[in-house]
Structure 1
């Protein structure tokens, strides 16, 4: 693989970030420094850490960044649940975001396992 942009997992996580930004635009304005900001930070962290780890010299370093990425994903999933519980979006909107995040989760876990096998 010549560039992190060629990784399907990076592409999918970028799509997730875009979707998260679009949906959080509808959140109440008084949440801009609270849940909205936190959800966006978590979402941004996912592809950012995939990209940063890609540039590292060792699989060990790459795994560290991928683990940060999946931790951010789990944090995002939790915050999506919170946003749903306080009715910031519909169940349908939640289901779409959550399922997209689960797809990225499965891909990340598989990718992490693949890199572990190379060690």
Structure 2
């Protein structure tokens, strides 16, 4: 425990007081971090949607055709075009939240 306390004293991370809950210590929406926190969920949704192409193929994540399309439409394009267009180019359709919802059990 001393190692953890020493490390935490060097950062801005605080321990959640014993007997309290995470929800009451969740400060993100109130310290200017709310939009950035939403970005995590948005990127998780895109990642789940893109991964669903691999998951439904017979070769899974080792499918060379889908991998090449990912490289061509997303990685090679980088920031030269809007991410929405890159994802649409990879998926062959507009992205949606269905795969993300399945991942969450919704």
The structure with more helix, counted as a fraction of residues: 1
Q: Which has the higher contact order (CA 8 A, sep 6+)?
A: 1
TM-score normalised over the length of structure 1 = 0.34
User: Given the two structures, how large is their TM-score scaled by the length of structure 2?
Assistant: 0.36
Structure index of larger Rg: 2
